[in-house]
Amino acid sequence: MEISTGNVSTGADKCKGTASLLAANLISDAFFRKASTPGGYALSEYNSVTYVEIGIIAAPASGGAPGEDDFQVWKTTISNLADMLISITVKKTSVNFYIMFVIDPACRIAGGEEALREALSLGQKKLEAAGMIADMIDIDPENGTYRVVSGRKIGNRKVRSALEKTLSASGLSADEQLDRAQNTVNESRQKIRSLEASPESRTRGPSLLIFLIVANVLIFAAGSFMKLRTGTDPLVNFGIQDNAKIFAGEWWRLITSMFLHADIMHLVSNMLFLFMLGRTLNRYYTNLQLWLIYFFGGIAGNLLGLAFSDALSLGASGAIMGLGGALLYRMTLGKNAKEFRRTGNFSWLATSVIFNLAYGLFNPGIDNYGHFGGFFGGFIVALLIGITQNSRSSAAADTDT
């Protein structure tokens, strides 16, 4: 997470401090990422992008009041920046641009204020003429104020919050602002790193994802082959969840039913969902933790079905929903949940989990007990893992002190 700003000219220290702190707040609070332009930061959400460009307009190099030459430089540079932003190609349906100029107070004297307004207004008109959704923003680092050239309110709440937070520190010196900017980014980095499982623990033991996909495909292939030969699938007969037989002592069906599927579409849809959830969570859990979440979720779903349903059932969806429960836990109650939500595009995946739960309520033939039992089983295991990790972190902190 690198902090940089696009300088219109060599800026005064206070302007640099404000620009750096603004970039740091965008990175740490709103999780913007460095973009292709010199002072650009972008945030992709769903099917839209918010793009912030931060620049500095510094005091005249002569040290005196700005003159016509300076006014022309401002116009040319702002116009060139607008052209550069217009040329950016972003494959999204909607892109909102915010072009923020941190302006040295010395630029505003002797006609400079009027020249700045004119240059920024021309830049705003150029962007709008190109069909862009854009706002140029004039920032006064000394007074802690800003002005939106178009007269509109900054529509993006995250951008507005980062800017207002930055300007609330306008009373700090340039060095203090730079230190705060670096500390802000370092803290954000540390929080994100703390979310991930160590690479060693992720590679220790058999990979859950590879094992499960291979095992489910091979079992389905073997059952299908035997069904072609004999007309029945002995693996299904042996392993399907049949409550009467489970109560008669065939307890293994609570586990084996998780590896059986009714048909090829059932298998493919489950393995695709398993792949998406497993690949996402693999970064944040050890192999052992993922195994516990998956199997406890599957068994919890089967136990719920055993208690409240007499229907025969099979499939990995209950266990897969356990992974969905773990994802929803990390997004809502997990440690640094806000940071976790911004480390990946999890919203669509969480929506898919919720949709699958809701879809089953309106469609007969779907094992809702398995789905909901698996989901809450995975959620609970993830919660217990989180509590254990937090306890260990607290104990380690106490030992260090």
**Residue 348 CB neighbours (<10 A):** 9
Domain final position from 195, 216, 240 = 195
Distance CA 315, CA 395 (A): 41
On whether both 84 and 161 belong to a single domain, the answer is yes
**312 SS3 class:** coil
Q: Catalytic one among 28, 170, 188, 317?
A: 317
On whether both 77 and 131 belong to a single domain, the answer is yes
pLDDT at 95 (0 to 100): 86
On whether both 260 and 137 belong to a single domain, the answer is no
**130 SS3 class:** coil
Question: How many percent of the chain have pLDDT more than 70?
Answer: 92
Residue 97's pLDDT band (boundaries 50, 70, 90)?
A: very high
Q: Domain limits at 62?
A: 6-195
Element (DSSP H or E) covering residue 148: strand 145-148
Element (DSSP H or E) covering residue 212: helix 208-230
**33 SS3 class:** strand
pTM for this structure? Answer: 0.68
Domain final position from 195, 218, 244 = 195
Residue 7's pLDDT band (boundaries 50, 70, 90)?
A: very low
Q: How many domains does the chain have?
A: 2
Name which of 35-39, 154-158, 169-173, 198-202 the model is least confident about: 198-202
Per-residue pLDDT at 193 exceeds 70:
yes
Higher pLDDT, 308 or 392: 308
pLDDT at 90 (0 to 100): 56
Tokens representing residue 290 in the block: 């993922």
Domain contains 92: yes
Q: Contact at 8 Å (CB) between 328 and 374?
A: no
Domain contains 36: yes
Q: What is the pLDDT of residues 347-395, one digit of tens each?
A: 888 889 999 899 888 887 788 999 999 999 999 999 999 998 877 766 6
Residue 252's pLDDT band (boundaries 50, 70, 90)?
A: very high
Nearest to 133 by CA among 92, 80, 103, 163: 92
pLDDT at 220 (0 to 100): 94
Residue 9's pLDDT band (boundaries 50, 70, 90)?
A: very low
Per-residue pLDDT at 73 exceeds 70:
yes
The phi, psi pair for 149, rounded to 5°, reads -60, -40
On whether both 185 and 209 belong to a single domain, the answer is no
Distances (CA, A) of 253 to 166, 231, 246: 59, 22, 7
pLDDT at 4 (0 to 100): 41
On whether both 324 and 353 belong to a single domain, the answer is yes
317 belongs to the catalytic site = yes
- 347-361 vs 317-332: helix crossing angle, rounded to 10: 130
**Residue 369 CB neighbours (<10 A):** 22
pLDDT at 89 (0 to 100): 61
Distances (CA, A) of 159 to 3, 43, 166, 360: 16, 10, 11, 39
pLDDT at 59 (0 to 100): 83
Distance CA 278, CA 290 (A): 8
371 belongs to the catalytic site = yes
Q: Catalytic one among 94, 371, 391, 394?
A: 371
Domain final position from 195, 226, 241 = 195
Higher pLDDT, 125 or 195: 125
Domain contains 203: yes
User: What does pLDDT average to over the chain?
Assistant: 87
CATH number at residue 328: 1.20.1540.10
Domain contains 1: no
Domain contains 297: yes
Distances (CA, A) of 186 to 32, 177, 300: 15, 14, 41
